[in-house]
Structure 1
Amino acid sequence: MPLGFKSNDIFGVKVTPTTMDDLFTLMDRSIAADDKVVIASLNLHGMYKLFKDDVFRALHDDDKTCVHIDGMPIVWLGRAAGLDLDARHRTGWIDWFLPLMERAQRSGWRIYYLGGTAQVLADGLARLRREYPDLAIDGHDGYFDATPGSAENAAVVAHINAFRPNMLIVGMGMGRQEHWISENRASLRTNCIGTCGACMEYFAGAVPTAPRWLGPLGLEWLYRLLSDPKRFWHRYLVEPWIVAWLLMTGAGRRRAARSQR
C-alpha cells in the first residue's frame, strides 16, 4: 500500500510533510490494510546521520517509509526549498506521544515500546497504564544484544510478535534504532514502526522536558543543551555546521543519487 502522502526532496533529503492528524490517518490505513509502514523522524541530528550512515539513509528512502518532521529547522529548510510548511508540520514525538496513546485506546490499537533502560520503561509503562487503563501496551528495554542472529535479539522479536502490536515504537536512539529496524523489519508482525529516540525518557521523567512553547520557536535544542551539555554539546554545537556545509556543497544530492543507482 502506498503511503498516501507525498514525499519531497529537500536539498537531497527525503521529507514527507505531515501533520499529527495525517500520521494518525496513515496508521489507520496501514492497520486497516494489514500493511507495514515505517514512520521515521527527521531533525538536524537525523540529517547528520543521513550523510554519515548508509543504512539510516536507506531506511528513510524506502517507499514504505514516511519521514515526518521533528524540528523547526527542517521546516525552515523546507520553506527555503519552496515547500508550503508551517509549525503544524513539526510533529515531534514528545508532542504526539500522548495523543497517540489516547487514539490507540479509543481505536483498540495495540502498542509496543522498545527502548530505554529497564527502570525508565517500567516507570513509563506504569504511568501509561494508569492514565489509559484500556490501552493494550507492552514493551522491552533497549539494553539487549541487538546483533542479528543473537539469542537475545531473537527473544525480543518473538516477544513483540507474540503481543502482535499495531504500532511498534522503537526508542533506542538515532542510528541504533534505524539499524535494528532495517535488520528486523521483515520478521516483525506489526503494521506501523515508529522511531522515537529517547521519547520514553522524557515521558517517564528521567530527563527534563523543555517547555512546549519553545518547540515552534525552534529553541527546544537550547533547553536540552543547557540541561545536559555533556550529552548534547556535539549534537547542537557541532553537527549543525557539518550539515550546513554538506547541504551547501550539494553532498546530500550526490549521495542520494549514488544510493539510487
Structure 2
Amino acid sequence: MGYHMYKGQLTDILQKGKTIINTLNQYSFCLAEEDKVFKKALMSSDVLLPDGIAIVLSAKFLSGNNFSKIAGADLHEFALKYLNNVYGSCFYLGSMNDTIEAISSKVAEEFPNVRVSGYSPPFKDQFTEEDNKIMIEKINEFGPDVLFVGMTAPKQEKWVFQNKDKIQATYICSIGAVFDFYSGKIERPNAIWVKYGLEWFARFLKEPKRLWRRYFLYGAVYLKHIAFGKFKKAAPVNLN
C-alpha cells in the first residue's frame, strides 16, 4: 500500500464536500516511516499534494507517473483567491499571536471579501483535552469554509486526523511553514528557485542550522527508501 498523490489541478480541489488536504515531501515521507499514526493520517488524506521536487522525481523514477509539484503556499494562495470570489471565510490555527495578527491584516488588505480569524494554541508537544476543546470551539464558533493548520509536521496532520470529525470546516489544509511565509516572518524563495526545483536549497541557504538535517540527513534516508523501493519492490515507497 502506498501514497496516492494528487495529479489534478488546484481548480478541481475546492469543489467537494468536507475535504482533508495534506502535503507530502521527502522529510514527511521519512518521518511517516517511523510514525504509524502520521503515516495513517497522510494515507487517509482526501487530497495529498506532491509538495517537493524529490516526490515528483521519485514518482517518475519508481512508476513513470508524471505530475507537478504543488506546494502548500500554492494551495494557500489559490484558496484565498477562491474565497475572495465567493465571499468565503478562513481560519488560521497555529503559530504565534503576532503571526496570526500579521496574517489576518494581510488577508484583509489583499482579499477584502474574505472573513478571517485565527487562534494560536499553546506551544507544547502534546495538547491536553482542554487545549483541544478550546481549539475546536474557536474554529466551530467562527465556522470557516477553509481551515488552515500550521503547527509543523507531523503534529498538524496528526491533530487534524484525530479531530477531523469534530471540526466544522469544509476544507482542512495542513500547510505548516506557509504561516511564516505569508505573514512575512520568513521570506519564501524567489520564483526562479521554485521554477527549477531548487526552493529547498534556497531555504537551506537562509536557515542552514535548522534545515540541514531535513534536507541532507533525511535526504539520504529518503534516497535509501527510493532505491529499496525500486530494486526490491518495497510497498512503502509506492508513489502513484
- TM-score over 0.5 for the pair: yes
Q: CA RMSD in A?
A: 2.2
Name 1:28's counterpart in structure 2: 15
Q: CA deviation at 1:60?
A: 1.8
- Superposed, 1:87-126 pairs within 5 Å as 89-126=68-105
Shift in alpha-carbon separation, 1:255–1:71, aligned structure 2, 3 A: closer
Name 2:59's counterpart in structure 1: 78
Q: CA deviation at 1:162?
A: 0.9
Q: Secondary structure at the match of 1:247?
A: helix
Q: CA deviation at 1:19?
A: 2.2
TM-score (ref. length: structure 2): 0.89
**Structure 1: distance between partners of 2:174 and 2:214:** 18
Shift in alpha-carbon separation, 1:148–1:121, aligned structure 2, 3 A: closer
Matched residues, percent identical?
22
* Maintained 8 Å contact 2:22/2:42: yes
- Superposed, 1:56-67 pairs within 5 Å as 56-62=38-44, 65-67=46-48
**Structure 2: distance between partners of 1:128 and 1:161:** 20
**Structure 1: distance between partners of 2:135 and 2:118:** 9
Name 1:4's counterpart in structure 2: none
**Structure 2: distance between partners of 1:142 and 1:47:** 26
TM-score (ref. length: structure 1): 0.83
The gaps in structure 1 that reach 5 residues or longer are: 1-8, 31-35
Name 2:195's counterpart in structure 1: 216
State the Cα deviation string for residues 64-87 of structure 1 (Å, max 9, x = none): 5211111122111222211132xx
**Structure 2: distance between partners of 1:239 and 1:253:** 18
Q: CA deviation at 1:105?
A: 1.5
The gaps in structure 2 that reach 5 residues or longer are: none
Q: Secondary structure at the match of 1:189?
A: coil
Q: CA deviation at 1:146?
A: 7.5
**Structure 2: distance between partners of 1:175 and 1:218:** 23
* Maintained 8 Å contact 1:38/1:193: yes
Q: CA deviation at 1:147?
A: 4.3
2:236 aligned with 1:246: no
* Maintained 8 Å contact 1:124/1:203: yes
* Maintained 8 Å contact 1:13/1:253: no
